[in-house]
Structure 1
Amino acid sequence: MATIRIHTTQNVTLEYEVASVGDRIVATLIDYVLLLAWGILWAVIITSLARGGHESDGSTNWGGLTSIITVLFFCLIFAPYIFYFLFSEIFFNGQTLGKKARDLRVVRLDGTAPRVGDYFLRWLLRLVDFGIGGGIVAVVAIAAGGKGQRLGDLAAGTTVISLRPRPARAADLPGPAAPAGYQPVFPQAADLSDHDAALLRQLLGRGLQQENYVVINETASKIKQLLGVQTDLPDEAFLRTVLRDHAYLLAQE
Protein backbone atom coordinates (compact mmCIF):
# COMPACT_ATOMS: atom_id res chain seq x y z
CA MET A 1 0.00 0.00 0.00
CA ALA A 2 1.26 3.52 -0.84
CA THR A 3 2.53 5.71 1.98
CA ILE A 4 3.06 9.44 2.36
CA ARG A 5 5.38 11.39 4.63
CA ILE A 6 3.98 14.44 6.40
CA HIS A 7 6.41 16.88 8.02
CA THR A 8 4.66 18.48 11.00
CA THR A 9 5.22 21.94 12.44
CA GLN A 10 7.01 20.27 15.38
CA ASN A 11 9.81 19.17 13.02
CA VAL A 12 8.64 15.57 13.11
CA THR A 13 8.09 13.49 9.99
CA LEU A 14 5.17 11.08 10.22
CA GLU A 15 4.52 8.31 7.73
CA TYR A 16 0.97 7.22 6.96
CA GLU A 17 -0.59 4.68 4.69
CA VAL A 18 -2.73 6.25 1.99
CA ALA A 19 -6.30 4.97 2.11
CA SER A 20 -6.90 2.45 -0.66
CA VAL A 21 -9.47 3.03 -3.38
CA GLY A 22 -11.39 0.03 -2.04
CA ASP A 23 -11.53 1.40 1.51
CA ARG A 24 -12.71 4.78 0.26
CA ILE A 25 -15.41 3.18 -1.88
CA VAL A 26 -16.65 1.09 1.06
CA ALA A 27 -16.64 4.17 3.34
CA THR A 28 -18.65 6.13 0.77
CA LEU A 29 -21.14 3.28 0.37
CA ILE A 30 -21.62 3.19 4.15
CA ASP A 31 -22.36 6.92 4.11
CA TYR A 32 -24.86 6.50 1.27
CA VAL A 33 -26.57 3.62 3.09
CA LEU A 34 -26.96 5.87 6.14
CA LEU A 35 -28.45 8.62 3.98
CA LEU A 36 -30.80 6.09 2.39
CA ALA A 37 -31.87 4.92 5.85
CA TRP A 38 -32.53 8.56 6.78
CA GLY A 39 -34.82 8.95 3.75
CA ILE A 40 -36.68 5.72 4.50
CA LEU A 41 -37.19 6.79 8.11
CA TRP A 42 -38.77 10.08 7.08
CA ALA A 43 -40.87 8.37 4.42
CA VAL A 44 -42.33 6.16 7.14
CA ILE A 45 -42.91 9.15 9.43
CA ILE A 46 -44.64 11.20 6.72
CA THR A 47 -46.79 8.24 5.69
CA SER A 48 -47.83 7.72 9.31
CA LEU A 49 -48.68 11.41 9.73
CA ALA A 50 -50.73 11.39 6.53
CA ARG A 51 -52.69 8.35 7.63
CA GLY A 52 -53.20 9.75 11.09
CA GLY A 53 -54.55 12.99 9.67
CA HIS A 54 -56.97 11.34 7.27
CA GLU A 55 -60.45 12.38 8.23
CA SER A 56 -63.60 10.36 7.87
CA ASP A 57 -64.72 12.41 4.82
CA GLY A 58 -61.56 11.47 2.94
CA SER A 59 -59.81 14.83 3.29
CA THR A 60 -56.31 15.05 4.74
CA ASN A 61 -55.68 17.12 7.86
CA TRP A 62 -52.08 18.17 8.37
CA GLY A 63 -52.84 19.50 11.84
CA GLY A 64 -52.86 23.14 10.77
CA LEU A 65 -49.23 23.22 9.61
CA THR A 66 -48.43 26.56 8.02
CA SER A 67 -46.54 26.78 4.75
CA ILE A 68 -43.44 28.03 6.59
CA ILE A 69 -43.41 25.04 8.94
CA THR A 70 -43.87 22.74 5.96
CA VAL A 71 -40.85 24.27 4.19
CA LEU A 72 -38.75 23.93 7.34
CA PHE A 73 -39.93 20.35 7.72
CA PHE A 74 -38.75 19.38 4.26
CA CYS A 75 -35.50 21.31 4.68
CA LEU A 76 -34.83 19.16 7.75
CA ILE A 77 -35.34 16.06 5.64
CA PHE A 78 -33.24 17.03 2.63
CA ALA A 79 -30.45 19.07 4.25
CA PRO A 80 -28.38 15.98 5.19
CA TYR A 81 -28.32 14.90 1.54
CA ILE A 82 -26.67 18.21 0.65
CA PHE A 83 -24.44 18.98 3.63
CA TYR A 84 -23.74 15.59 5.25
CA PHE A 85 -20.19 15.19 3.95
CA LEU A 86 -19.22 18.82 4.59
CA PHE A 87 -20.49 19.05 8.17
CA SER A 88 -19.36 15.55 9.11
CA GLU A 89 -15.76 16.26 8.13
CA ILE A 90 -15.80 19.67 9.82
CA PHE A 91 -17.22 18.49 13.15
CA PHE A 92 -15.75 14.97 13.25
CA ASN A 93 -12.13 15.98 12.55
CA GLY A 94 -11.96 14.87 8.92
CA GLN A 95 -14.20 11.84 9.22
CA THR A 96 -17.67 10.91 8.08
CA LEU A 97 -19.38 7.97 9.75
CA GLY A 98 -18.29 5.82 6.82
CA LYS A 99 -14.67 6.94 7.17
CA LYS A 100 -14.81 6.34 10.92
CA ALA A 101 -16.08 2.81 10.32
CA ARG A 102 -13.14 2.14 7.94
CA ASP A 103 -10.56 4.00 10.11
CA LEU A 104 -9.95 6.71 7.52
CA ARG A 105 -9.35 10.44 7.97
CA VAL A 106 -8.79 13.54 5.86
CA VAL A 107 -5.41 15.23 6.51
CA ARG A 108 -3.42 18.02 4.90
CA LEU A 109 -0.19 17.20 3.11
CA ASP A 110 1.69 19.95 4.95
CA GLY A 111 1.00 18.43 8.36
CA THR A 112 -1.39 21.14 9.57
CA ALA A 113 -4.99 20.46 10.49
CA PRO A 114 -7.47 20.85 7.60
CA ARG A 115 -9.35 24.14 7.70
CA VAL A 116 -13.03 24.74 7.02
CA GLY A 117 -12.10 26.07 3.59
CA ASP A 118 -10.31 22.82 2.78
CA TYR A 119 -13.36 20.76 3.68
CA PHE A 120 -15.52 23.16 1.67
CA LEU A 121 -13.37 22.69 -1.44
CA ARG A 122 -13.54 18.91 -1.08
CA TRP A 123 -17.32 19.09 -0.67
CA LEU A 124 -17.79 21.50 -3.57
CA LEU A 125 -15.79 19.35 -5.98
CA ARG A 126 -17.77 16.24 -5.05
CA LEU A 127 -20.09 17.43 -7.81
CA VAL A 128 -17.30 16.72 -10.29
CA ASP A 129 -15.68 13.73 -8.56
CA PHE A 130 -18.90 11.82 -7.99
CA GLY A 131 -21.38 13.56 -10.27
CA ILE A 132 -19.70 12.43 -13.49
CA GLY A 133 -19.84 8.73 -14.24
CA GLY A 134 -21.01 7.79 -10.77
CA GLY A 135 -17.63 8.46 -9.16
CA ILE A 136 -15.36 7.23 -11.94
CA VAL A 137 -13.55 10.59 -11.99
CA ALA A 138 -12.67 10.25 -8.31
CA VAL A 139 -11.52 6.64 -8.72
CA VAL A 140 -9.27 7.48 -11.69
CA ALA A 141 -7.76 10.51 -9.92
CA ILE A 142 -7.04 8.54 -6.74
CA ALA A 143 -5.53 5.60 -8.61
CA ALA A 144 -3.39 7.76 -10.90
CA GLY A 145 -2.07 10.36 -8.49
CA GLY A 146 -0.14 8.18 -6.04
CA LYS A 147 -1.15 10.24 -3.00
CA GLY A 148 -4.76 9.13 -2.72
CA GLN A 149 -6.13 12.46 -3.93
CA ARG A 150 -9.33 12.99 -5.85
CA LEU A 151 -9.90 16.37 -7.52
CA GLY A 152 -11.29 17.84 -4.30
CA ASP A 153 -8.15 16.76 -2.43
CA LEU A 154 -5.88 18.21 -5.12
CA ALA A 155 -7.63 21.57 -4.79
CA ALA A 156 -7.58 21.54 -0.99
CA GLY A 157 -4.08 20.09 -0.53
CA THR A 158 -5.46 17.13 1.39
CA THR A 159 -5.56 13.37 1.17
CA VAL A 160 -7.24 10.51 3.02
CA ILE A 161 -5.10 8.24 5.19
CA SER A 162 -5.67 4.93 6.90
CA LEU A 163 -5.49 5.03 10.69
CA ARG A 164 -5.07 1.27 11.02
CA PRO A 165 -1.81 0.42 12.78
CA ARG A 166 0.84 -1.15 10.60
CA PRO A 167 2.81 -4.23 11.67
CA ALA A 168 6.10 -3.10 13.10
CA ARG A 169 9.51 -4.21 11.94
CA ALA A 170 12.67 -4.00 13.98
CA ALA A 171 14.14 -1.72 11.30
CA ASP A 172 11.31 0.75 11.88
CA LEU A 173 12.50 1.55 15.42
CA PRO A 174 14.89 4.47 15.89
CA GLY A 175 18.53 3.45 15.72
CA PRO A 176 21.13 4.32 18.35
CA ALA A 177 22.39 7.34 16.38
CA ALA A 178 20.39 10.37 15.26
CA PRO A 179 20.69 11.50 11.62
CA ALA A 180 23.13 14.25 10.71
CA GLY A 181 21.79 17.73 11.34
CA TYR A 182 18.99 16.46 13.55
CA GLN A 183 17.26 19.05 15.72
CA PRO A 184 15.86 17.65 18.98
CA VAL A 185 12.17 18.19 19.54
CA PHE A 186 12.14 17.35 23.26
CA PRO A 187 15.36 18.50 25.00
CA GLN A 188 14.01 16.85 28.17
CA ALA A 189 14.94 13.51 26.59
CA ALA A 190 18.47 14.14 27.91
CA ASP A 191 17.11 13.40 31.40
CA LEU A 192 16.48 9.76 30.46
CA SER A 193 19.09 7.29 31.69
CA ASP A 194 20.49 4.68 29.34
CA HIS A 195 18.43 2.10 31.20
CA ASP A 196 15.26 4.17 30.72
CA ALA A 197 15.95 4.54 26.99
CA ALA A 198 16.66 0.82 26.57
CA LEU A 199 13.46 -0.06 28.43
CA LEU A 200 11.49 2.44 26.37
CA ARG A 201 12.85 0.97 23.14
CA GLN A 202 11.97 -2.53 24.33
CA LEU A 203 8.41 -1.59 25.33
CA LEU A 204 7.79 0.27 22.08
CA GLY A 205 9.12 -2.59 19.97
CA ARG A 206 7.13 -5.19 21.90
CA GLY A 207 3.94 -3.12 21.76
CA LEU A 208 4.22 -2.65 18.00
CA GLN A 209 5.05 -6.28 17.28
CA GLN A 210 2.13 -7.50 19.39
CA GLU A 211 -0.14 -4.64 18.28
CA ASN A 212 -0.67 -3.87 21.96
CA TYR A 213 -1.47 -0.17 21.75
CA VAL A 214 -2.59 -0.04 25.37
CA VAL A 215 1.03 -0.68 26.39
CA ILE A 216 2.23 2.01 23.97
CA ASN A 217 -0.28 4.51 25.36
CA GLU A 218 0.66 3.74 28.95
CA THR A 219 4.35 4.00 28.11
CA ALA A 220 3.83 7.36 26.40
CA SER A 221 1.87 8.65 29.41
CA LYS A 222 4.65 7.59 31.78
CA ILE A 223 7.34 9.22 29.64
CA LYS A 224 5.34 12.47 29.38
CA GLN A 225 4.94 12.49 33.15
CA LEU A 226 8.60 11.65 33.73
CA LEU A 227 9.90 14.33 31.37
CA GLY A 228 7.17 16.89 32.12
CA VAL A 229 6.21 17.44 28.48
CA GLN A 230 2.92 18.05 26.72
CA THR A 231 2.39 17.18 23.07
CA ASP A 232 -0.36 16.37 20.60
CA LEU A 233 1.80 13.84 18.77
CA PRO A 234 0.38 10.31 18.52
CA ASP A 235 1.85 7.95 21.12
CA GLU A 236 4.05 6.00 18.71
CA ALA A 237 5.43 9.13 17.03
CA PHE A 238 6.10 10.72 20.44
CA LEU A 239 8.05 7.73 21.72
CA ARG A 240 10.08 7.44 18.53
CA THR A 241 10.93 11.14 18.74
CA VAL A 242 12.01 10.87 22.39
CA LEU A 243 14.34 8.00 21.48
CA ARG A 244 15.84 9.96 18.59
CA ASP A 245 16.27 13.04 20.78
CA HIS A 246 17.92 10.98 23.53
CA ALA A 247 20.37 9.45 21.04
CA TYR A 248 21.22 12.84 19.58
CA LEU A 249 21.68 14.61 22.92
CA LEU A 250 23.72 11.72 24.30
CA ALA A 251 26.09 11.98 21.32
CA GLN A 252 26.66 15.70 22.02
CA GLU A 253 27.97 15.11 25.52
Structure 2
Amino acid sequence: MAIIRVHTTQNVTLEYETASLGERILAALIDYAIIFAWFGVWVGLGAWAVSSAGPTKNTGSKDETAGIILLVIIALPYVFYHLVCEVFFNGQSLGKKARHIRVMRLDGTAPRFGDYLMRWLLRIFDSGMIAVIAVAASSRGQRLGDMAAGTTVVSVRPRPAQATPLAADLAEVARYRVVFPQAAQLADHDVALVRQLVYQAQARGNYELLHETANKVKALTHIETDLPDLPFLQTVLRDHAHLAAQE
Protein backbone atom coordinates (compact mmCIF):
# COMPACT_ATOMS: atom_id res chain seq x y z
CA MET A 1 0.00 0.00 0.00
CA ALA A 2 1.19 3.52 -0.79
CA ILE A 3 2.04 6.04 1.90
CA ILE A 4 0.68 9.58 1.69
CA ARG A 5 3.07 12.05 3.35
CA VAL A 6 1.77 15.46 4.33
CA HIS A 7 4.04 18.25 5.59
CA THR A 8 2.08 20.61 7.85
CA THR A 9 2.67 24.26 8.67
CA GLN A 10 3.94 23.15 12.11
CA ASN A 11 6.86 21.37 10.41
CA VAL A 12 5.34 17.97 11.20
CA THR A 13 5.25 15.20 8.60
CA LEU A 14 2.11 13.06 8.76
CA GLU A 15 1.94 9.63 7.16
CA TYR A 16 -1.23 7.92 6.01
CA GLU A 17 -1.48 4.45 4.51
CA THR A 18 -3.78 4.30 1.50
CA ALA A 19 -6.57 1.76 1.71
CA SER A 20 -5.88 -1.39 -0.27
CA LEU A 21 -7.99 -2.25 -3.29
CA GLY A 22 -9.29 -5.31 -1.43
CA GLU A 23 -10.46 -3.22 1.54
CA ARG A 24 -12.24 -0.79 -0.77
CA ILE A 25 -13.98 -3.63 -2.60
CA LEU A 26 -15.08 -5.21 0.69
CA ALA A 27 -16.38 -1.84 1.90
CA ALA A 28 -18.31 -1.41 -1.37
CA LEU A 29 -19.81 -4.89 -1.05
CA ILE A 30 -21.01 -4.06 2.49
CA ASP A 31 -22.54 -0.82 1.24
CA TYR A 32 -24.35 -2.56 -1.62
CA ALA A 33 -25.59 -5.27 0.77
CA ILE A 34 -27.12 -2.53 2.95
CA ILE A 35 -28.71 -0.84 -0.08
CA PHE A 36 -30.13 -4.11 -1.43
CA ALA A 37 -31.43 -5.01 2.03
CA TRP A 38 -33.28 -1.67 2.08
CA PHE A 39 -34.61 -2.41 -1.41
CA GLY A 40 -35.74 -5.89 -0.37
CA VAL A 41 -37.53 -4.69 2.76
CA TRP A 42 -39.59 -2.08 0.91
CA VAL A 43 -40.40 -4.34 -2.02
CA GLY A 44 -41.57 -6.96 0.48
CA LEU A 45 -43.69 -4.40 2.32
CA GLY A 46 -45.18 -3.20 -0.96
CA ALA A 47 -46.04 -6.75 -2.04
CA TRP A 48 -47.59 -7.46 1.36
CA ALA A 49 -49.68 -4.28 1.20
CA VAL A 50 -50.97 -5.17 -2.27
CA SER A 51 -51.85 -8.73 -1.30
CA SER A 52 -53.54 -7.57 1.92
CA ALA A 53 -55.67 -4.99 0.11
CA GLY A 54 -57.12 -7.57 -2.28
CA PRO A 55 -58.90 -6.69 -5.56
CA THR A 56 -60.75 -3.38 -5.47
CA LYS A 57 -62.40 -1.18 -8.06
CA ASN A 58 -61.43 2.29 -9.24
CA THR A 59 -58.11 2.38 -7.45
CA GLY A 60 -55.90 2.87 -10.50
CA SER A 61 -54.77 6.41 -9.65
CA LYS A 62 -54.22 5.54 -5.99
CA ASP A 63 -52.16 2.48 -6.92
CA GLU A 64 -50.12 4.58 -9.32
CA THR A 65 -49.45 7.22 -6.63
CA ALA A 66 -48.50 4.57 -4.08
CA GLY A 67 -46.18 2.98 -6.62
CA ILE A 68 -44.44 6.30 -7.27
CA ILE A 69 -44.04 6.95 -3.52
CA LEU A 70 -42.62 3.46 -3.02
CA LEU A 71 -40.20 3.97 -5.92
CA VAL A 72 -38.98 7.26 -4.44
CA ILE A 73 -38.51 5.67 -1.00
CA ILE A 74 -36.46 2.88 -2.56
CA ALA A 75 -34.47 5.04 -4.99
CA LEU A 76 -33.46 7.99 -2.79
CA PRO A 77 -31.17 6.01 -0.45
CA TYR A 78 -29.58 4.26 -3.45
CA VAL A 79 -28.87 7.56 -5.20
CA PHE A 80 -27.73 9.63 -2.22
CA TYR A 81 -26.35 6.94 0.12
CA HIS A 82 -22.64 7.62 -0.41
CA LEU A 83 -22.93 11.41 -0.44
CA VAL A 84 -25.00 11.58 2.77
CA CYS A 85 -22.84 9.03 4.63
CA GLU A 86 -19.53 10.66 3.72
CA VAL A 87 -20.76 14.16 4.58
CA PHE A 88 -22.22 13.23 7.97
CA PHE A 89 -19.89 10.36 8.97
CA ASN A 90 -16.52 12.08 8.46
CA GLY A 91 -15.72 10.60 5.06
CA GLN A 92 -17.03 7.13 5.80
CA SER A 93 -19.92 5.11 4.44
CA LEU A 94 -21.10 2.26 6.65
CA GLY A 95 -18.95 -0.12 4.62
CA LYS A 96 -15.89 2.10 4.98
CA LYS A 97 -16.51 2.38 8.73
CA ALA A 98 -16.69 -1.42 8.99
CA ARG A 99 -13.35 -1.75 7.14
CA HIS A 100 -11.69 1.15 9.01
CA ILE A 101 -11.06 3.32 5.96
CA ARG A 102 -12.17 6.86 5.12
CA VAL A 103 -11.92 9.62 2.53
CA MET A 104 -9.17 12.23 3.05
CA ARG A 105 -7.80 15.12 1.01
CA LEU A 106 -4.26 14.74 -0.33
CA ASP A 107 -3.14 17.68 1.83
CA GLY A 108 -4.16 15.77 4.97
CA THR A 109 -7.24 17.85 5.77
CA ALA A 110 -10.84 16.72 5.98
CA PRO A 111 -12.72 16.92 2.65
CA ARG A 112 -15.17 19.75 2.14
CA PHE A 113 -18.73 19.29 0.91
CA GLY A 114 -17.65 20.17 -2.61
CA ASP A 115 -15.09 17.35 -2.56
CA TYR A 116 -17.69 14.81 -1.46
CA LEU A 117 -20.10 16.16 -4.10
CA MET A 118 -17.49 15.78 -6.87
CA ARG A 119 -16.76 12.18 -5.85
CA TRP A 120 -20.50 11.44 -5.79
CA LEU A 121 -21.24 13.03 -9.16
CA LEU A 122 -18.49 11.06 -10.90
CA ARG A 123 -19.84 7.76 -9.57
CA ILE A 124 -22.10 7.82 -12.63
CA PHE A 125 -19.04 7.16 -14.83
CA ASP A 126 -16.69 5.79 -12.17
CA SER A 127 -18.04 2.52 -10.85
CA GLY A 128 -17.47 -1.21 -11.17
CA MET A 129 -14.42 -2.25 -13.17
CA ILE A 130 -13.64 1.33 -14.18
CA ALA A 131 -13.16 2.26 -10.51
CA VAL A 132 -11.18 -0.93 -9.81
CA ILE A 133 -8.81 -0.28 -12.72
CA ALA A 134 -8.37 3.39 -11.76
CA VAL A 135 -7.55 2.56 -8.12
CA ALA A 136 -5.16 -0.23 -9.12
CA ALA A 137 -3.36 2.00 -11.64
CA SER A 138 -3.10 5.06 -9.39
CA SER A 139 -0.04 5.47 -7.20
CA ARG A 140 -2.29 7.10 -4.57
CA GLY A 141 -5.19 4.66 -4.73
CA GLN A 142 -7.51 7.15 -6.44
CA ARG A 143 -10.52 6.46 -8.59
CA LEU A 144 -11.59 9.10 -11.12
CA GLY A 145 -13.76 10.88 -8.56
CA ASP A 146 -10.82 11.08 -6.16
CA MET A 147 -8.55 12.50 -8.86
CA ALA A 148 -11.09 15.21 -9.66
CA ALA A 149 -11.72 16.05 -5.98
CA GLY A 150 -8.09 15.81 -4.83
CA THR A 151 -8.90 13.05 -2.36
CA THR A 152 -7.99 9.46 -1.67
CA VAL A 153 -9.12 6.73 0.73
CA VAL A 154 -6.81 5.96 3.65
CA SER A 155 -6.69 3.32 6.34
CA VAL A 156 -7.50 4.45 9.87
CA ARG A 157 -6.84 1.04 11.38
CA PRO A 158 -4.17 1.28 14.13
CA ARG A 159 -0.86 -0.02 12.84
CA PRO A 160 0.93 -2.82 14.75
CA ALA A 161 3.70 -0.39 15.57
CA GLN A 162 1.15 1.68 17.47
CA ALA A 163 0.41 -1.06 20.02
CA THR A 164 2.52 0.96 22.44
CA PRO A 165 1.89 4.32 20.81
CA LEU A 166 3.73 7.56 21.16
CA ALA A 167 6.71 6.28 23.17
CA ALA A 168 9.80 8.34 22.41
CA ASP A 169 12.39 6.81 20.09
CA LEU A 170 15.60 7.33 22.05
CA ALA A 171 17.72 7.04 18.92
CA GLU A 172 16.11 10.20 17.56
CA VAL A 173 16.06 12.29 20.74
CA ALA A 174 19.20 14.18 19.83
CA ARG A 175 17.84 15.42 16.52
CA TYR A 176 14.20 15.80 17.53
CA ARG A 177 12.73 19.28 17.04
CA VAL A 178 10.07 20.36 19.55
CA VAL A 179 6.92 21.65 17.89
CA PHE A 180 4.89 22.64 20.99
CA PRO A 181 7.08 23.77 23.93
CA GLN A 182 3.85 24.16 25.95
CA ALA A 183 3.80 20.36 26.24
CA ALA A 184 6.13 20.77 29.23
CA GLN A 185 3.13 22.12 31.18
CA LEU A 186 1.53 18.66 31.23
CA ALA A 187 2.01 16.63 34.41
CA ASP A 188 3.21 13.04 34.16
CA HIS A 189 -0.19 11.67 35.14
CA ASP A 190 -1.81 13.83 32.45
CA VAL A 191 0.53 12.39 29.83
CA ALA A 192 -0.14 8.82 30.96
CA LEU A 193 -3.90 9.43 30.75
CA VAL A 194 -3.65 11.01 27.29
CA ARG A 195 -1.60 8.06 26.02
CA GLN A 196 -4.22 5.64 27.30
CA LEU A 197 -7.11 7.62 25.81
CA VAL A 198 -5.41 7.92 22.41
CA TYR A 199 -4.68 4.20 22.29
CA GLN A 200 -8.27 3.34 23.20
CA ALA A 201 -9.68 5.82 20.67
CA GLN A 202 -7.49 4.41 17.88
CA ALA A 203 -8.31 0.81 18.74
CA ARG A 204 -12.06 1.52 18.72
CA GLY A 205 -12.16 4.14 15.97
CA ASN A 206 -13.65 6.59 18.47
CA TYR A 207 -13.04 9.99 16.87
CA GLU A 208 -15.22 11.82 19.38
CA LEU A 209 -12.93 10.64 22.19
CA LEU A 210 -9.89 11.84 20.22
CA HIS A 211 -11.53 15.22 19.66
CA GLU A 212 -12.47 15.64 23.33
CA THR A 213 -8.95 14.64 24.43
CA ALA A 214 -7.36 17.08 21.98
CA ASN A 215 -9.60 19.92 23.18
CA LYS A 216 -8.73 19.16 26.81
CA VAL A 217 -5.00 19.21 26.06
CA LYS A 218 -5.37 22.49 24.17
CA ALA A 219 -7.24 23.98 27.14
CA LEU A 220 -4.51 22.88 29.57
CA THR A 221 -1.59 24.04 27.42
CA HIS A 222 -3.21 26.99 25.55
CA ILE A 223 -1.94 25.58 22.26
CA GLU A 224 -3.56 26.85 19.08
CA THR A 225 -3.12 24.66 16.00
CA ASP A 226 -4.94 23.43 12.90
CA LEU A 227 -3.45 19.95 13.12
CA PRO A 228 -5.96 17.06 13.09
CA ASP A 229 -6.67 15.63 16.54
CA LEU A 230 -4.56 12.45 16.36
CA PRO A 231 -1.38 14.02 14.89
CA PHE A 232 -1.72 16.89 17.39
CA LEU A 233 -1.85 14.53 20.36
CA GLN A 234 1.00 12.41 19.02
CA THR A 235 3.14 15.51 18.54
CA VAL A 236 2.39 16.87 22.02
CA LEU A 237 3.32 13.57 23.64
CA ARG A 238 6.55 13.29 21.65
CA ASP A 239 7.38 16.87 22.60
CA HIS A 240 6.70 16.13 26.28
CA ALA A 241 8.88 13.01 26.19
CA HIS A 242 11.72 14.94 24.58
CA LEU A 243 11.47 17.87 26.98
CA ALA A 244 11.32 15.54 29.98
CA ALA A 245 14.47 13.74 28.79
CA GLN A 246 16.35 17.04 28.64
CA GLU A 247 15.67 17.90 32.31
**TM range, normalised to the smaller chain?**
0.7 to 0.9
Aligned to 2:183: 189
Deviation track 1:122-176 (CA, whole Å, cap 9, x = no partner) reads 111112221xxxx222122212212111111000000001110001179984532
Q: How does 1:143-154 map to 2 (within 5 A)?
A: 143-154=136-147
2:125, 2:167 → 1: CA distance? 40
Structure 2 CA distance for aligned equivalents of residues 129 and 68 of structure 1? 33
Q: Partner of 2:102: helix, strand, or coil?
A: strand
TM superposition score normalised by structure 2: 0.75
Correspondence for 2:26: 26
Q: Which runs of 5+ in 2 are unaligned?
A: none
Match of 1:105 in 2: 102
2:130 is aligned with 1:137: yes
Cα RMSD, aligned residues only: 4.0
Q: Given the superposition, is the C-alpha separation of residues 107 and 23 from structure 1 closer, same or farther in structure 2, using an over 3 Å criterion?
A: same
CA distance in 1 between partners of 2:203 and 2:97 (Å): 21
Would the alpha carbon gap of residues 96 and 212 (structure 1) be closer, same or farther in structure 2, given more than 3 Å must change?
closer
Letter in 2 for 1:37: A
Q: Distance in 2 between matches of 1:125 and 1:191?
A: 49
| Structure 1 residue ranges (4+ consecutive) displaced by more than 4 angstroms after TM superposition | 8-11, 58-62, 66-70, 169-174, 211-214, 216-226, 228-232, 246-253
Equivalent of 1:167 in 146, 160, 169: 160
Question: Larger helix proportion, structure 1 or 2?
Answer: 2
2:134, 2:144 within 8 Å by CA — same for their partners in 1?
yes
CA contact (8 A) 1:178 1:244 kept: no
1:48 maps to which residue?
A: 48
| 2:169 is aligned with 1:176 | no
1:53 partner letter: A
Q: 1:86 aligns with which of 83, 86, 99?
A: 83
- Cα distance per residue 1:46-92 (max 9 Å; x no partner): 1111112213xx65858x83866653442122111211111111121
In structure 2, C-alpha distance between the alignment counterparts of 1:8 and 1:105, rounded to whole Å:
20
**1:6 equivalent in alignment to 2:3:** no
Kindly tell me the number of residue pairs found equivalent between the two proteins.
Answer: 235
Matches of 1:65 and 1:118, distance apart in 2: 41
Once the two structures are TM-superposed, the CA of residue 219 in structure 1 deviates from its matched residue by 8.7
Q: Bigger shift: 71-80 or 156-165?
A: 71-80
Equivalent residue, structure 2, for 1:75: 72
